[in-house]
Chains A and B, each alone.
Chain A
Amino acid sequence: MPRFLREFFNRNGVGMGSLMLALVLFWTVGLIILPQLSMLDFSFRPNLPPPEIGGPKDVYTVENYKYLIFGPEGGSQDYNAVDLRVFYRTLIAAVFVTLFNLVLCYPIAYYLAQTKGNHIRIFALMLIIPYWINEILRAFALRIIFGETGVLNNALVGLGIFDTPFDFIRNDIALYAGLGYAYILLMIFPIYNVIESLDRNQIEAARDMGASWPMIHRRVVIPYAKPGISSGCTMVFMLSAGALAAPQILGGPSSLWFTQLIYQQFNDNSDWPQGAAYAVVLLVTCILLVLAVMRLFKVNMGDIGK
């Protein structure tokens, strides 16, 4: 038995130690690593009926990835324009949702963290309550508001701003509002946590030196809050790029989200390997994007989740 393992059992006892080790191994290997590898492996295989799996036809192939880029074999187009456009649009939209949330939430997080008093606790409660409501119901609430006969259209037409109801759903405004709405809390809390520990004296000092408000934020608060900001942005980006409920409920009929394509491959086309390939592409692209941005802003992985 290696030394560190013996030490581990000495410290925790054989029974407790093995239980702990078993749980951790089950979680990390059985639930996290192996399923992801299994999905990766699956994405390189052809779509076969169950009896043929493991048979002679079950060989590795890159067909599923080729399909995403070039479309069905012998298709009329050189590229799979539909799916690629959905993929591209999903990523761009997720970036915009993230930026929108950051701009919206930074002042709130700053205000909540730097102000003392009873009303702050009320604000915190009001922030948390929407987050406890089901994701589906939140999307549903926005659909009631943005619908053709919804409150917003009634108000806008009633005020005479628009002559006819504006189709928020077809124009994807409802979708972006819904995605932004869903992940507000995940942006506020990391930023709030970091700014709360910022010594107010630093801000006072900067002000005494004659720095303007924008300057104080640019030179003092934002550099300090960088881990929180990057943590919030990473979570919001990954979650909105991987969102499924909001696009299904709030998305326009003609515009799909990439996760909806994956869902269709699994549930409507019963083409699991194809769906797995799309999922791998989504996962890898998102991770690479996040890592690139983190490298750009010099943030560590260890800061995430603090």
Chain B
Amino acid sequence: MRSLSFMRVSIWVYLAIFFAYLLGPLVIMSITAFNSPEFPRATPWECLTFEWFAALFQDERILNGIKNSILVGAGTVVLSVAMGLAGALMLTQIWPKLRATYYTIIIAPILIPGVVIGISTLVFWDRINRMVGLGADSFLSNGLFLTVIGQSTFIASYCMLVLVARLQRYDTALTEAALDLGATHAQAFRKVLLPFMKPAIASAAVLAFLASFENYNTTTFTFGEYPTLTIELAQKVRYGITPAISALAFIIVVLTVFAALFNEANIRRKDLVAMARKDATVEELESGKFRVPGFLSSNWAAVALVVMACATVVVVGTATVYSPAQCIADVQEQKRIETELRIQELRQRRAEEAARKAAEEAETAPKPQAAPSGNNSGFGGVFSPNALTGSGEEEESKAPEAEDSNNSGFGNVFAPSGLSGD
């Protein structure tokens, strides 16, 4: 018994570690989207800010990337769902001896590295282009066309897998019946097979769009003049990262969670309604008294969805009126003071070292004559008390002013006020 509870605990610990690894990075990235430092970081927390979202929506390249991604995604969805459906139908009809070979061929693109697909697409269509005798700016070497073609090569395989799973439950007698009743093949396809396949086609289309939207390996070779969002992101991430990218990621995370919860809430609701119908008596159903369970009743996904929607409204509302200027100013002030202290410490240390050296020199050699004019020591009047009152940048410019009052070798380094600083 004890070993069983020990096992339970270890399972939960393992699950916790696993999901921390899976979700932790996303949570931390989302936090950095609201933190004010220029470099995305979650710690130390400085100020709550929404400026990175503003920066994101002003970024031309990101917006252009989103537009290209949607174009490519639409093309890929159409082409790969069509090819996937044709491929799946063919798989159910093909000559048994060819079946294994055919399956290997259409499943292979999933396993071929995306880089290889990108290269082979580029090389192949470049060659076709040359064979046809078109120029370098023809339709066949257009970035949009190449990207759609390249992505569809393997996304169609995903679609095929989704569609085949549903097609296996299709009763071909239905099509035959339609044909016997005088439907043409096209009609039988459109009115019988297509409605049956509709849910699978919808999920294949969603899958295809998502796969296209996030593809990088293939697109990076084929995009040409049409960088997609992923390409733009990769270039940004490689050459300097800003929290604006975290802001974009946060938006995508929120949208994803919304979509997932919405989908889940719908499924749960269907289940609940079906269950309520099953439990209801015949009279209830017939008299119309049957009550469909409410959207929120015992449906955690729906509750979570509503809570999240409210939270989003609150956050957006706050964002429009909230201004982090004061907080940012405070943090900057604090940082300035910290930097100053650090500079001061450094200077002090250097001065002490120089003093020690000078003392050693003074011991070995006769003390040199006093400086001919004003201050020619390396440290100037930096350490004079009034030099420290200014801000970091002003410090240097103020130093010369202090010069005339200070002509000893080391300034006022050893004056008590020089060390206190404020």
User: Residues on A close to B: CB < 8 A?
Assistant: 4, 8, 11-17, 19-21, 23-24, 26-28, 31-36, 38-39, 42, 50, 53-54, 104, 107-108, 111, 118, 121-123, 125-130, 132-145, 147, 149-151, 154-155, 181, 184, 234-235, 238-239, 241-245, 248-249, 259, 262-263, 266, 272, 275-276, 279, 282-283, 286-287, 290, 301-302, 304-305
Contact = CB atoms under 8 A, between A and B. Distances in A.
A38 B126 CA distance: 10
Nearest to A130: B22
B82 interface: yes
B111 A20 contact: no
Interface in B44-82: 44, 82
A239 B217 CA distance: 10
Interface in B334-382: none
Given A39-B119, A276-B119, A181 B21 contact: yes
B116 A283 contact: yes
Contact of A151 (B19, B43, B257, B260): B43
B116 A15 contact: no
11 contacts: A11-B93, A24-B86, A34-B124, A39-B124, A134-B213, A134-B214, A238-B113, A276-B119, A282-B113, A282-B115, A283-B116
Nearest to A260: B115
Contact of B19 (A38, A126, A279): A126
A12 B185 contact: yes
A283 B112 contact: yes
A123 to B, nearest CB: 8
B113 A36 contact: no
B290 interface: no
B294 to A, nearest CB: 18
B22 A35 contact: no
A245 B40 contact: no
A97 B229 CA distance: 28
B121 interface: yes
A140 B123 contact: no
B22 A181 contact: yes
Interface in B138-163: 149, 152-153, 156-157, 161
B210 interface: yes
Contact of A137 (B23, B41, B249): B249
Contact of B120 (A35, A122, A135): A35
Contacts of B87: 23-24, 27-28
Interface stretch (B238-246, B315-323, B404-412): B238-246
B246 A108 contact: no
Interface size class of B (residues with CB under 8 A): 35 or more
Contacts, number: 252
Given A108-B18, A134-B214, A134-B233, 11 more contacts: A16-B189, A24-B90, A27-B106, A35-B117, A134-B252, A136-B230, A144-B41, A151-B41, A244-B114, A245-B234, A282-B113
Interface stretch (B25-33, B278-286, B324-332, B393-401): B25-33
A245 B22 CA distance: 18
A32 B86 contact: no
Max chain A Cβ within 10 angstroms of own Cβ: one of B43, B89, B111, B264: B111
B105 interface: yes
A16 to B, nearest CB: 5
Nearest to B164: A305
Nearest to A10: B185
Contact of B113 (A39, A54, A283): A283
Given A31-B153, A151-B43, A249-B237, A140 B249 contact: yes
Interface string B112-138: 111111011111110100100000000
B221 A138 contact: no
Contacts of A272: 122-123
Given A133-B252, A136-B216, A144-B41, A104 B18 contact: yes
B48 to A, nearest CB: 18
A15 to B, nearest CB: 6
A145 B25 contact: yes
Nearest to A20: B86
The 3 closest A-B pairs by CB, nearest first: A242-B113, A13-B185, A141-B25
B111 A248 contact: no
B273 interface: no
Interface of B: 11, 14-15, 18-19, 21-26, 28-29, 32, 39-44, 82-83, 86-87, 89-90, 93, 95, 100, 102-117, 119-125, 127, 130, 149, 152-153, 156-157, 161, 184-186, 189, 210, 213-214, 216-217, 220-221, 229-230, 233-234, 237-238, 241, 245-246, 248-249, 252-253, 256-257, 259-261, 264, 300
B15 A111 contact: yes
A184 B22 contact: yes
A242 B29 contact: no
Given A27-B86, A305-B110, A305-B161, A144 B40 contact: yes
A26 B120 CA distance: 15
A245 B112 contact: no
Contact of A8 (B40, B93, B104, B259): B93
Contacts of B104: 301
Contact of A239 (B21, B22, B113): B113
B111 A133 contact: no
Contacts of B113: 238-239, 241-242, 259, 279, 282-283, 286
Given A32-B153, A245-B216, A282 B260 contact: no
B105 to A, nearest CB: 5
Max chain A Cβ within 10 angstroms of own Cβ: one of B25, B82, B257: B25
Contacts of A53: 130
A241 B120 CA distance: 17
Given A15-B185, A20-B90, A149-B41, A111 B11 contact: yes
Contacts of A249: 234, 237-238
A21 B93 CA distance: 12
Contact of B119 (A184, A266, A301): A266
B245 A140 contact: yes
A143 B106 contact: no
A143 B120 CA distance: 31
Nearest to A241: B113
A129 B260 contact: yes
A268 to B, nearest CB: 13
B278 to A, nearest CB: 19
A33 B186 contact: no
A244 B124 contact: no
B120 A39 contact: yes
A126 B260 CA distance: 9
